[in-house]
Structure 1
Amino acid sequence: MSELPVWARTLDAAFGPPLPGQYRAAPEDFIVEEQLDFTPEAHGEHLWLYIEKRNQTTLDVVKQLARLSDVTPRDIGYSGMKDRVAVTRQWLSVHLPGRDAPVDLTERLAAVDVRVLAQARHPRKLKRGVHRTNRFTLRLSGAVVESDSFTARWEALCHHGVPNYFGPQRFGPGGRNLVRAEAVLARGWRKRDDRQGMLLSSARSFLFNELLSARIKAGSWNKPLAGDTLMLDGTQSVFRPDQVDSTLEARAEALDIHPTGILWGVGYAPDESAAQRLETALSERHPALCDGLSRSGVKPARRALRMRLGEPEWQVEEDSFVLRFSLPRGGFATAVLSELMAHPDFASG
């Protein structure tokens, strides 16, 4: 696969294609704040640090923190991977049993452009995916600022939700992660070829985006179909109803529940219901990816097709729009932006 496909947007039918725009002209134009639903307990073997980084990936900071603390990167915990070209705030943990952190750790981190905003001890390592949401503050500029339809597009997303696409960063520059995933899955996935599972994730994310795009085109991305597994908003709790009735349709309209799509894996056996026929079509369009994932041993999972914007705000500042909103963990701000403006970074269009 030489390039990623163009995935469907939800708002073009009503408003036409969005105008071009610019985001992330500077790191300060893209601010991300990780939000937990608990606080460290102030005791234990792990030192938790709430840090602010700029123009660095999370893994860059992990390596720096491990070096400065005289531990291995495996002793560093983090919940989510944050963007590089951005100002991001997140928690990390360092395993320091029976000893304190270096006395000058905060100053040495500051020397590599990492600020420590808070710190506390905790009994356990910070695990992947435990944060509740990410809060974004984004500045948009360019022709999109002059668009008469921008506020209507924004209000539609606030009211109806956002397609929960995986962002283009999941697939690497030019989609190279997906190309590598195809090669690895074709010869049989092995852990040593994909230590972090990045290639498996890229393949599953691609298939999910394909399914979501198909359901947008069919008009069912935000409506439960027969055979759908539904997810409660703000949780990972899922259920599969015996039938879709007016009560479920009303809950979906109110963003209380969302249809889900498959993250492909071993043992997935779709039935002949309307929702799962759409998922079966993935194996017909992309047999090598689906077969390779089935043989890899990765377990199937579900992901909501839609996400709600939490506490959305927007304002005009000089020649730009400033947007503020929260997304559940795993949600991509680029999925929001691709509905609002045209930009070459976005895979969907």
Structure 2
Amino acid sequence: MSRGDFSSEDVNRSNRVVSHSSLPSELYDQPLSFAYGKPSARAQIRTHDADFQVVEDLGYEPSGEGEHYFLWVEKEGLNTEFVAEDIARRANVQRKSVSYAGMKDRHAITRQWFSVHLPGKTELTEALFEDASYQVLSRSRHLKKLHTGSLHGNHFKLVLREFQGDRGEFEQRLEQVRNDGFPNYFGEQRFGFNGGNLELAQAMLLGEKRVRNRHKRGLYLSAMRSWLFNWVLHARVNDQCWNKPVLGDLLSLDGSGSNFPYLSPQESDDVEGRVQQGVIHPTGPLWGEPSYHPLFKAGRLEADCLKPFESLMLALESFGLSVSRRSLRAIPRDMAWRWLDDDVVELSFYLPKGSYATSLMRELF
């Protein structure tokens, strides 16, 4: 997400499909649907890096012993990969010895953990980072390395400036998002600059481009799987069932990776109540070799909206990826806001891992 004026059109433009012969032409410029209607408010975001703050939550603290050195880092105006490479250089280790749980925004002030594989008695002293362009706030050892995705979530604090719109309507939307959540779309970051990773993913999957770099290959596969998920979620939003169970759905327990099927109409009262309470959520596919599918009405809905992309789905399966499920809905925790001035509002919230602040924000601006 770039600095400057923030509106729904900006986010939608990034989430559109790039043109390719494998996709129906009517989908090229199809924006993703809104849960609560297209918002009318506008605001400036990231006027300063300090207007967008992120604090990572691993869900645990380093144990204090082990062969992996954990660094709690605050960065501003830097991407996560740059910091990882710089840590590897200063620690005199290979880049693969440094890991992190998730990428964080560049144009922001962010705090996150990095781990460095340092067996033996080697220490990373404070002096090693005295002239670094980021701050190492604390250091500790741990028994295991950080793996991608091994976090609980992130705390966000945003300052939105030059607000234009009806404050009453805006606060009503804030209440809706706080109470009922928002569509758990993958954000535009997932698809590369101007959706370029999607174009490269299609070329790779259809045999038009060979990608030898393993990291890039993974990025492209993730981009395509994410777009297919977004398209299913888009269809569910249109049908007003993104936050409601449909018979045959695979449902996920909040905060857990486990899924279970909703197979019997006799369960409807119990299932609908638990979904309304935010205990369980409907899911959509991250495509790969199918081991299970939604059934009945949910299965038909999913199959119908994915039918135009069968060639891409088969290609994803050929890469040996296993299908998994992702919640269609995200519910922010501890969401609060306050007006710092007549046209300046501060917004804070906590999102589970894998959910995007940009996807929450698109429901507001």
TM-score by length of 1: 0.91
In structure 2, what is the equivalent of residue 28 of structure 1?
A: 50
Q: C-alpha displacement at 1:144, in angstroms?
A: 3.7
Confirm or deny that 1:82 pairs with 2:136.
no
- Counterpart residue number, 1:122: 142
Task: Give the deviation of 1:331 after TM superposition.
Answer: 0.5
Residue 307 of structure 1: aligned partner = 330
What secondary structure sits across from 2:290 in the alignment? coil
Inter-partner Cα distance in structure 1 for 2:83 and 2:59: 23
Shift of 1:44: 1.3
- The answer for the alignment partner of 2:171 in structure 1 is 151
Inter-partner Cα distance in structure 1 for 2:129 and 2:92: 14
Decide which of 158, 171, 174 is 1:138's aligned counterpart. 158
2:240 match: 219
Shift in Å, 1:162: 1.2
How far apart in 2 are the matches of 1:273 and 1:193? 40
Residue-pair matches, total: 335
Q: 1:252 is matched with which residue: 275, 284, 305? A: 275
**Deviation of 1:245 (Å):** 1.2
Once residues 145 and 283 of structure 1 are traced to their aligned partners in structure 2, the CA distance between those partners, rounded to angstroms, is 37
In the alignment, structure 1 residue 177 sits paired with structure 2 residue 201: no
| CA distances 1:18-41 after superposition (whole Å, capped 9, x unpaired) | 222221121111100001221111
Summarize deviations over 1:238-293 as a string: whole Å, max 9, x none.
21133241011011111111000011112356465111112212431223321221
Residue in structure 2 matched with residue 286 of structure 1 by the alignment: 309
- Tell me which residue corresponds to 2:75: 53
Secondary structure at the aligned position of 1:249 is classed as helix
- Whether the 8 Å contact between 1:189 and 1:296 is mirrored in structure 2 is no
- Look up the SS of the partner of 2:338 in the other structure: strand
CA contact under 8 A between 2:186 and 2:230: conserved in structure 1? yes
> Is contact 1:134-1:328 (8 Å) kept?
yes
Q: Distance in 1 between matches of 2:63 and 2:299?
A: 44
Offset of residue 199 of structure 1 = 0.4
The answer for unaligned runs of 5 or more in structure 2 is 1-17, 20-27
Q: Which residue is 2:220 aligned to?
A: 199
Query: Aligned letter for 2:336?
Result: E
Between 1:88-97 and 1:241-250, the stretch displaced more is 241-250
- What is the CA deviation profile of residues 49-83 of structure 1, one whole-angstrom value per residue up to 9, with x for unaligned ones? 11001111111100110011101110002111111
Partner of 2:296: 273
SS at match of 2:195: helix
How far apart, CA to CA, are the structure 2 residues paired with 1:92 and 1:285?
A: 41
Partner in structure 1 of residue 86 of structure 2: 64
Would the aligned equivalents of 2:250 and 2:294 in 1 still touch at CA under 8 Å?
A: no
Partner of 1:336: 360
TM-score by length of 2: 0.87
The question of whether the paired residues in 1 share the 8 Å contact of 2:163 and 2:344 is answered with no
Letter in 1 for 2:194: G
Match of 2:349 in 1: 325
CA distance in structure 1 between the aligned counterparts of 2:257 and 2:40, rounded to whole angstroms:
32
Contact 1:207 1:282 in 2 (8 A): no
Distance of 2:166 and 2:290 partners within structure 1: 50
Question: Which of 244, 250, 253 is the matching residue for 1:232?
Answer: 253
SS in 1 for 2:136: strand
Aligned residue in 2 for 1:8 = 33
| Aligned-pair CA distance for 1:180 | 0.6
Q: Distance in 2 between matches of 1:258 and 1:324?
A: 23
Aligned pair in 2 of structure 1 residues 241, 56: CA closer, same or farther (>3 Å)? same
RMSD in angstroms over aligned alpha carbons? 1.8
Q: Displacement of 1:17 after TM fit?
A: 3.0
> Aligned partners of 2:165, 2:64: CA distance in 1, in Å?
46
Q: 1:100 aligns with which of 113, 118, 123?
A: 123
> Compared with structure 1, are the counterparts of its residues 272 and 121 closer, same or farther at alpha carbon in structure 2 (3 Å cutoff)?
closer
1:151-199 per-position Cα deviation (integer Å, ceiling 9, x unaligned): 0000001111111000011111111010110001011897724425110
Q: Could you tell me how far 1:228 is from its partner in structure 2?
A: 0.6
Change (3 A) 1:82 1:216: same
Please state how far the C-alpha of 1:313 moved relative to its aligned partner. Answer: 0.8
Q: Distance in 2 between matches of 1:336 and 1:198?
A: 23
Letter of the 2:128 partner, please give it: L
